[in-house]
């Protein structure tokens, strides 16, 4: 994990003042690190009947599809507004300033399907909490949540009570 952490670049004041952006592009470009990340995101959820991996736009698409392939599961994208072409469900959640919306196709998950949620980073937890709620509205059963980085000081886990949250790098 230390090796992975060394490949994540801190970019101060991006995209706005006061935010330290975690740039994962060096990790993505490093073949052994990319493989190790996907393996580690998958490992606790192997053999648990996961049928669908849901990835959150856009960095969650990269890891989510790699995890889906490893689990022999399908992949479903949770997208920013206006990108999905047919009937969809949306969830909005508050950010520090303003609000954000994510969308999923209404037929993307069938009732009773076992779902693993994947993204690159847990900050306030608002995105992941809204994503989990959308899946459950469709009748999906959330097996767990798997993320590369957790910004622990933002207490994102508090928005995911009772869920199995697996993170590889914890930033205190
Ligand atoms: P949140 O809803 O606050 O947990 O934010 C999580 C989402 O925003 C994830 O999809 C992340 O990719 C992105 N994000 C939030 N904060 C950062 C950060 N400091 N560096 C990189 N991505 C971030």
Q: CA 138 to CA 112: how far, in whole Å? A: 9
100 lines ligand 1 (CB under 6 A): no
Give 21-33 pLDDT, tens digit per residue: 999 999 999 999 9
- Please report the domains of the chain, with CATH numbers, ordered by start residue: 2-171 (3.40.50.2020)
Q: What is the pLDDT of residues 136-153, one digit of tens each?
A: 999 999 999 999 999 999
Residue 97 has pLDDT above 90, yes or no: no
156 in contact with ligand 1, CB cutoff 6 A? yes
11 pLDDT exceeds 80? yes
Q: What is the pLDDT of residue 96?
A: 67
Question: Coil, helix or strand for 88?
Answer: strand
Q: How far from the centroid of its chain's Cα atoms is residue 3's Cα?
A: 21
Contact 149, 121 (CB under 8 A): yes
Confidence of residue 98 (pLDDT cuts 50, 70, 90): confident
Protein residue closest via CA to atom 15 of ligand 1: 123
């Amino acid at each position: 994990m230390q090796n992975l952490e060394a490949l994540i670049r801190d970019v101060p004041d991006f995209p706005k003042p006061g935010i330290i952006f975690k740039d994962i592009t060096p990790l993505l470009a490093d073949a052994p690190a990319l493989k190790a990340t996907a393996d580690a995101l998958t490992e606790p959820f192997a053999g648990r009947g996961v049928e669908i991996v849901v990835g959150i736009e856009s960095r969650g698409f990269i890891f989510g599809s790699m995890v889906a392939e490893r689990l022999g599961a399908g992949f479903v994208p949770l997208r920013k507004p206006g990108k999905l072409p047919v009937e969809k469900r949306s969830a909005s959640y508050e950010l520090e300033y303003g609000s954000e919306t994510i969308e999923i196709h209404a037929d993307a998950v069938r009732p009773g399907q076992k779902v693993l949620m994947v993204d690159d980073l847990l900050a306030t937890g608002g995105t992941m909490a809204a994503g989990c709620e959308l899946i459950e509205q469709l009748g999906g059963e959330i097996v767990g949540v798997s993320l590369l980085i957790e910004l622990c000081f933002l207490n994102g886990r508090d928005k995911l009570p009772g869920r199995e949250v697996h993170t590889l790098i914890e930033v205190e």
